[in-house]
Amino acid sequence: MSNTYQRIVLASRPDGEPTPQNFRLESVAVPEPAEGQVLVRNHYLSLDPYMRGRMNDGKNYAQPQPLDEVMIGGTVGEVVASRHPNYKAGDQVVGMGGWQQYQLADGNQPGVLRKVDTSRIPLSAYLGAVGMPGVTAWYGLVKLIAPKAGETVVVSAASGAVGGAVGQLAKARGCRAIGIAGGPEKCAFVVDELGFDACIDYKAHRDLGSLSAALKAAAPDGVDGYFENVGGMVLDAVMLQMNAFGRMAFCGMISGYNGEPIPMANPQLILTSRLKVEGFIVSEHMEVWPQALGELGTLVASGKLKYRETVAPRIEDAPEAFIGLLKGRNFGKQLVKLV
């Protein structure tokens, strides 16, 4: 084992779109665990849109990412040294190790590490379909949209880690699932591999009228539930097709993550269609995680829940991969290989 490892810290706060200069790659000594601590060698890092909001020094649902400290992020890896009785070398674990190759964790702190079984589920899947993105999809669909068999559910960013799971979980509940994604390749994946009933390429529809008409053709009976990841014109188009008493789960608004305003074209539809609109942060609903992970793990292990990963090969590639994620360049779950 090397005596040093690499990590990436936030060097400066972005003004608008992040750039590689907002990050700094550092080389530091591998620590020795003290009593009660666990040393984990991280194998994969998860890159997620929420990280962009944390880079700002402003009001958010969580504290801002501190400058000159390791960027926050979910990780999976292997215990390499332990001075805690609940963990031993070789244990596979998931945690919030951040943008770094090693993590020194307090084994006594609840929730900081969770041991996982990789006999039927790949380690990387615990950062996607059987991790935070999967639980996000499950909570927004099951608890907020609460679909009934025969209803129509639409999800934006449908080829992503969250959106792809939403549609498959909706299909498992007897719903018609319609995705919205960018480009013919992503839409083909959503329909042919994930099993959605239809997918609309928003890049082929440059104005609200065109996008709304395409959605109406795909959902002739209207939309009962909408899982929102994007905002902007996509949201406006879906709102025009929402049925009375429709439910909308707001998970992300990636069209405004760099500070752009996101005006809503027809907010009166919330009233006239009596829509239920609710935003959520999945980390505030830890009580559902065991149930959600149980269903997600069973579906992945049995091959019934499919997913795709985009993997950046080195830790130094993380900033560019993150910038690409915000621009929709990734396909499925964006990971960084750390070993």
Indicate whether 293 belongs to any domain: no
Residue 1 confidence (pLDDT)? 64
Q: Please check whether residues 199 and 271 belong to one and the same domain.
A: yes
Residue 259 confidence (pLDDT)? 75
- Are 71 and 98 within 8 A, CB to CB? yes
Count of other CB atoms within 10 angstroms of residue 279: 14
Q: Which domain holds residue 94?
A: 4-128+308-337
Q: Please check whether residues 97 and 181 belong to one and the same domain.
A: no
Non-local (6+) Cβ contacts of 313 within 8 A are 337
Residue 313 confidence (pLDDT)? 98
CATH of the domain at 111: 3.90.180.10
Residues in the chain with pLDDT values less than 70: 1
Q: Please check whether residues 217 and 119 belong to one and the same domain.
A: no
Q: Please check whether residues 139 and 99 belong to one and the same domain.
A: no
Indicate whether 205 belongs to any domain: yes
Residue 62 confidence (pLDDT)? 76
- Are 234 and 206 within 8 A, CB to CB? no
Q: Please check whether residues 136 and 267 belong to one and the same domain.
A: yes
CATH of the domain at 149: 3.40.50.720
Q: Please check whether residues 189 and 279 belong to one and the same domain.
A: yes
Indicate whether 292 belongs to any domain: no
Non-local (6+) Cβ contacts of 77 within 8 A are 40, 41, 42, 43, 44, 92, 93, 95, 97, 103, 338
Q: How many domains does the chain contain in total?
A: 2
Q: Please check whether residues 245 and 269 belong to one and the same domain.
A: yes
pTM (two decimals): 0.93
Residue 190 confidence (pLDDT)? 98
